Amino acid sequence: MAIFFIGFNGLQKLDNLFYDAISRVEERPTNKEILIVAVDEKSLKQLGRWPWPRATHATIIDILTSSGVSAIGIDILFSERDASDPEGDVKLASAIANSGKVVLVLGPESGGSGQDQLLSEVLPLPELAVEASMLAHVDIEVDKDGICRRVYLRAGLGTPHWPAMGLALFQVAHPNLSLPAVASIRATENPISAGWRRDSPILISYAGPPGHINRVSYVDVLNGHVPAGQLKDKIILIGTTAIGLGDNLATPVSSSHTLMPGVEVNANLLASILDKRILRNGSVKVEVAFTLLATLAMFLWLVLLPANWALPGLIVAALATLLASTILLANQRIWIPPTTPLLLQVALYIIWSWLDLGQQNRLSSLLRKEIHLQARHDVVTGLPNHHMLRENLKEILAEHAGENFKLSILFINMSKHRAVIDAAGASGIDSIRKQISHRLKQAIVGGDKVYRLEGEAFAVLILEPGSIAQLETVAARLVQSLLRPFELKEDYFSLLPSIGVANYPKDGTTARELSDNAYAAMHRARKHSFQRVCFFSDQIKSDVYQELRVIQELRRQNWQEQITCVYQPQIDVKTGRIIGVETLLRWHHPQLGNISPADFISLAEREGLISPLGNWTLSQACEQGQRWQETYGWKLRIAVNVSAIQFSSPDILNIVRNTLTASGLPHHLLELELTETALISNKDAIISTLLALKDLGVQLAIDDFGTGYSSLAYLKDFPVDRIKIDQSFISDMHISKESSGIAQSIITMAKELNMQVIAEGVEIQEHLDILRALNCDEVQGYLLGKPMSPGELEKAIRNGELQA
Ligand code: C2E
Ligand code: CA
Ligand code: CA
C-alpha cells in the first residue's frame, strides 16, 4: 500500500494541503538583499504600452550597474529582434556587456501541456545572450491543483543544463559562495531525449505572501527616484507585476486568491537559496522508510498494548507522524508527505480492530461451545449428564416418530453406606464413580450410551433392546458387574445396585415420561432388598401416583384431622403386667384409605416434612400418658418414635422439654425410640444430646436393633436405657437357631452393659417362652396386644386382658 500511494502520488492533494498549511506558518522576514524592479501599472502609465523600447531597458541596466547592484536578472524574454528599433537591441547588448552582471532568461516552448510537450526552448537573441553573464531558465512547475510549489534548479533541452533564475543570480552575485548541495549535481552530458529535461527539484520556501519581497517601480528607478544607496549591493530582478502582463501564479502562501507574479516566485527561490532554506522532497526511499517506521510504530503499539488502547494509539501515532513531518520540513528542509503513513496507520487500526473483533468472536463461540459441552457433561466421569440424556432422548424420539421403534432406558442407582462415604472422602467417592462409569461402559454394546445423572445415579440408553428376556440379560449383566467390590485406597467396598427399566413406547412416549418412569422403577428396586432390577409396571405407576398424593397431603397439612395415635402395650415378662405403650401413627385418608406409617413416615422424611408430624405425635402421646395417669393412676411409660432427621434438629431438646412441661407428664414416663441410623454419625454431638435428654429424666431406647450397621460395642458409650431387638430376629426365632442365637447374644451383651432389653414382634407363645428363657426383660407384639386406640386400651385393661 505504501509503495502504491507513494509511487502513484495518489495522495498528493492531501499532502499539498499539509504542506501549504506548514508553509503559511513558516513566514519569515524579507531578505533585504533582493529587490524587485517591477514593471507595474504605474510604470506602464508613464512609459506607455508594453513592450517598451529595448533602449529603455538598456538605460535601466546602466542606472542599476552604476548604482552598484550585485546582479541583475531580467525576467523578460528577448527572443525576437525589435524590427522597428534595431538600435535598441544594440544598446541593450552593450548595456548588458557593460554591466557584466546580467542574467537573461530563456524558457521552454510549450506545444501543449505537460513536460513532454515542451519540445524546444526559446533563447534570447544571440547578440544579447553572448553578452549576458549567465542564461537562466524560468520554467516553473505548477502542480495539478494549479499551485506552484516546486522549481527545478536545472532544466534544458536534451539535458538539464540551464540553471534556474534564482540559482543563476546567486552565482552571479556571490561567485565565491558554494552552491547549495542539491544544485551542484552535475547535469548529464549526453542528451537524454529530445524534449525539455528538468533536474534537481526543490520546493520553494516562500518568505511570505505576494508583495512580501521588496519592490520598487521600474519607472522610479528609471527616473532616478530611487536613491543609489537603496540599490547598492542588491540583487535586482526585473519583471512584470502588472495584471495582465506576464505570468501570475498561485502559491501556497497566496491566500484569498492573490496571485504571485512570476518574477516574485523567482525572487522567492533566490531568497530560499540565500537564506539556506532550500526545501527538498524526500527521496522515494526516505519516504518509504518514514512510512514504514510510522506504520511499524502503530503496529507495535497495537501488538504490545491492550485492545482498548488501540484508538488512543492511532491518535498518538497520527499526531507524531504529523509532528515528525513538520519538524523534518522546518529543521531538515526535507518534505516527507505524511498522508501515506497516516492512511496506513488508519488502515492498520481498522484491520487490527476487525481482526481483534474476529478473534473475540471466535473465542466467544469457542467458549460457548465449551460451556455447552460442560453443561452437558459430568466433570468427574466425562460421561454426558442428565441434560444430555433428555436432549438425546428427545432427538431420538423425534427422529423415529411414527415408526415401529423400541428403546429402553435404565436408571441405575448405587446405594452406598455412610461408612463408605466417611472412609472414602470426596476424592475416593470420585474414584468410585469413575469405576462405576468404567464398568457400565464395558457392559454395554454398540450404540448404547451411558450417562451420569447425579451422585451414584447413572443411566443407560439401549437402542433396539430386543425381547424382554434379552433386556433382562443385559440388566443382569450390569448388576453382576456392579456387584463386584470397588477398589479404594487398597481397600474394597461393595455397593448395592438398583436398576429401574422403562421401555418405549409401552412405558411412555416422551423423554420426560420415560425418565420419570425409569426413575420410579429404580426406586422400587431400591426398596426391595431381594430384587435388584425392576421393570416399570402399572403397579409402580399407581404407587407413584399414590406417593405423590401423600406428599401433597403432607404438604397441605390436612393430616391433623386424619391421623391418630394408637398405642401398643409393652409387657414385663416376669410379672405379665403392662408397663408401657409404644405410640404408633394411623392415617385414614377419606380417598386414599389407610396409609401405612412405614410409607408416609419415609415420605415425610424424604420431603423434609417429618418434624411437624413428629412434634405433634410427641405432644399427643405425652398428653395421653398424663391423662391416663390423672384418670386411672396408671403410670405407663409412653414410648415415642423419633426419626433420625427429627433427632438431628438442633432444637430437639427444647421441643421435648416444652412438650413435657405443657402436658405435665412426669419426665421419667417418656421414652424416645431412636434408630441406629440416628446415632451413627457425629458421635460426640449425639452423645451430648443424649446426655441432655437423660438430664431431663427422659428414657432412651434403641429401636430395630440388629438391622443397622452398628454394634453393641459401638453403642456402649451411649447413655441408653433399653435395646429393642428387631422383630426380624423374633419372628423366626422358634425355627431359626441363628435368629435365636442373635437374640441371645444381644440380651447377654445388653445385660453386661446394664441396659434393658425389649423384644418386639412377639406373635406366638413360643416366642415368649424362648424370650423368657433368655431372660428378656420386656416384650411387645400381637400376642400381647395390637396397637390400639386409647379407648380400646382402657377397655382391655378394664376387661383384664391387660394387667395394669
Ligand atoms: P416400628 O417403630 O418398628 O414399629 C413397630 C411396628 O411393628 C408397627 O408397625 C407395629 O404395628 C408392628 N408390630 C407390632 N407388633 C407386631 C407383631 O407382633 N408382628 C408384626 N408383624 N408387626 C408388629 P406400624 O405401626 O405399621 O409402624 C411401622 C413403622 O412406622 C414403625 O416401625 C416406625 O418405624 C414408623 N412409625 C410409626 N409411627 C411413628 C411415629 O410416630 N414416628 C416415627 N418417627 N415413626 C413412626
Ligand atoms: Ca418403634
Ligand atoms: Ca421397631
Q: In sequence order, what DSSP letters do the residues of 260-282 get, joined into one string? A: EEHHHHHHHHHHHHHTT--BEEP
Cα 766 to ligand 1 centre (Å): 22
At 655 the pLDDT is 96
Does 601 contact ligand 1 (Cβ within 6 A)? yes
- Atom of ligand 1 lying closest to residue 780 CA: 15
- The grid coordinates listed for 768 are 415368649
Distances (CA, A) of 177 to 167, 181, 528, 711: 12, 12, 119, 121
At 359 the pLDDT is 83
Does 781 contact ligand 1 (Cβ within 6 A)? yes
Q: Report the alpha-carbon distance of residue 486 to residue 464 in Å, rounded.
A: 31
Cα 599 to ligand 3 centre (Å): 15
DSSP secondary-structure letter at 30? Answer: P
Q: Report the alpha-carbon distance of residue 385 to residue 388 in Å, rounded.
A: 5
Are 465 and 514 in contact, with CB atoms under 8 Å apart?
A: no
Cα 584 to ligand 1 centre (Å): 6
Cα 522 to ligand 3 centre (Å): 26
- Tell which residue, 164, 209, 201, has the closest CA to residue 279: 201
Are 163 and 132 in contact, with CB atoms under 8 Å apart?
A: no
- Tell which residue, 18, 92, 94, 17, has the closest CA to residue 52: 92
Q: Report the alpha-carbon distance of residue 297 to residue 313 in Å, rounded.
A: 9
Q: What is the dihedral of CA 13, 14, 16, 21, to 10 degrees?
A: 140
Exposed e or buried b per residue across 59-97, where buried means at least 16 C-beta atoms within 10 angstroms of its C-beta: bbbebbbebebbbbbbbbebbeebeeeeebbebbbebbb
At 401 the pLDDT is 82
Does 617 contact ligand 1 (Cβ within 6 A)? yes
Does 585 contact ligand 1 (Cβ within 6 A)? yes
Atom 14 of ligand 1, residue of closest alpha carbon: 781
> Under DSSP, is residue 457 helix (H, G, I), strand (E, B) or coil?
strand
Atom 42 of ligand 1, residue of closest alpha carbon: 641
Other CB atoms within a 10 A radius of the CB of residue 497 amount to: 25
Atom 31 of ligand 1, residue of closest alpha carbon: 598
At 306 the pLDDT is 81
Cα 722 to ligand 3 centre (Å): 12
Does 787 contact ligand 1 (Cβ within 6 A)? yes
- Tell which residue, 483, 499, 495, 477, has the closest CA to residue 408: 499
Give the global pTM: 0.52
Does 732 contact ligand 1 (Cβ within 6 A)? no
Are 679 and 713 in contact, with CB atoms under 8 Å apart?
A: no
CA angle 651, 654, 655 (to 5 degrees): 85
Does 703 contact ligand 1 (Cβ within 6 A)? yes
Alpha-carbon dihedral sign for residues 308, 310, 315, 320: positive
Exposed e or buried b per residue across 746-779, where buried means at least 16 C-beta atoms within 10 angstroms of its C-beta: bbebbeeeebbbbbbbbeeeebbebbeebebbbb
Atom 15 of ligand 1, residue of closest alpha carbon: 781
Mutate to test the pocket of ligand 1, among 587, 600, 641 (most ligand atoms within 8 A of CB): 641
Atom 38 of ligand 1, residue of closest alpha carbon: 584
At 280 the pLDDT is 79
Mutate to test the pocket of ligand 1, among 583, 601, 643 (most ligand atoms within 8 A of CB): 601
Does 764 contact ligand 1 (Cβ within 6 A)? no
Q: Report the alpha-carbon distance of residue 584 to residue 791 in Å, rounded.
A: 15
Cα 287 to ligand 1 centre (Å): 101
Q: Report the alpha-carbon distance of residue 641 to residue 516 in Å, rounded.
A: 33
Alpha helices, H only, 196-251: 218-222, 228-231
At 683 the pLDDT is 83
Cα 731 to ligand 3 centre (Å): 12
Give long-range contacts, CB 8 A cutoff, 24+ apart: 591-596: 592/546, 592/549, 592/550, 592/553, 595/550
At 284 the pLDDT is 78
CA angle 750, 752, 758 (to 5 degrees): 25
Q: Report the alpha-carbon distance of residue 26 to residue 152 in Å, rounded.
A: 22
Q: Report the alpha-carbon distance of residue 435 to residue 426 in Å, rounded.
A: 14
Q: What are the per-10-residue average pLDDT scores of the chain (804 residues)?
A: 68 77 76 91 89 90 91 90 84 90 85 60 87 88 82 84 90 84 58 73 84 90 89 91 82 77 89 82 83 88 82 89 87 83 88 84 86 85 90 90 88 79 77 92 88 91 88 92 87 88 91 92 84 91 86 85 95 96 95 91 89 94 96 96 91 96 97 89 88 96 85 83 95 93 93 94 96 97 96 94 86
At 117 the pLDDT is 61
Q: Report the alpha-carbon distance of residue 248 to residue 74 in Å, rounded.
A: 16
DSSP secondary-structure letter at 52? Answer: P
Distances (CA, A) of 106 to 38, 73, 157, 200: 19, 12, 11, 18
Does 603 contact ligand 1 (Cβ within 6 A)? no
- Tell which residue, 182, 169, 166, has the closest CA to residue 264: 166
Residue 720 burial class via C-beta count within 10 angstroms: exposed 0-12, middle 13-18, buried 19 and up: buried
Does 763 contact ligand 1 (Cβ within 6 A)? yes
Does 354 contact ligand 1 (Cβ within 6 A)? no
Exposed e or buried b per residue across 593-626, where buried means at least 16 C-beta atoms within 10 angstroms of its C-beta: eebebeebbebbbeeebbbebbbbbbbbbbbbbb
Does 785 contact ligand 1 (Cβ within 6 A)? no
Q: Report the alpha-carbon distance of residue 238 to residue 218 in Å, rounded.
A: 8
Atom 22 of ligand 1, residue of closest alpha carbon: 761
- Atom of ligand 1 lying closest to residue 585 CA: 38
- The neighbouring-strand residues paired with 496 are 415
Alpha helices, H only, 508-584: 511-527, 538-556, 559-562
Mutate to test the pocket of ligand 1, among 584, 771, 783 (most ligand atoms within 8 A of CB): 584
Other CB atoms within a 10 A radius of the CB of residue 505 amount to: 14
Cis peptide before 465 (omega within 30 of 0): no
- Atom of ligand 1 lying closest to residue 763 CA: 18
Atom 46 of ligand 1, residue of closest alpha carbon: 641
Q: Residues with beta carbon < 5 A to ion ligand 3?
A: 703-704
Does 338 contact ligand 1 (Cβ within 6 A)? no
Does 725 contact ligand 1 (Cβ within 6 A)? no
Cα 582 to ligand 2 centre (Å): 7
Who's near 783: CB < 8 A, 6+ residues apart? Answer: 762, 763, 764, 765, 767, 768
Element (H, E) at 780: strand 778-780
DSSP secondary-structure letter at 651? Answer: T
Q: Given the DSSP bridges, would you call strands 407-415 and 457-463 parallel, antiparallel or unpaired?
A: antiparallel
Alpha helices, H only, 275-309: 284-304
Does 706 contact ligand 1 (Cβ within 6 A)? no
Single-letter amino acid, residue 276: K
Q: Report the alpha-carbon distance of residue 157 to residue 729 in Å, rounded.
A: 132
> Under DSSP, is residue 65 helix (H, G, I), strand (E, B) or coil?
helix
Does 594 contact ligand 1 (Cβ within 6 A)? no
Are 153 and 26 in contact, with CB atoms under 8 Å apart?
A: no
- Atom of ligand 1 lying closest to residue 782 CA: 18
Single-letter amino acid, residue 200: S
Are 575 and 525 in contact, with CB atoms under 8 Å apart?
A: no
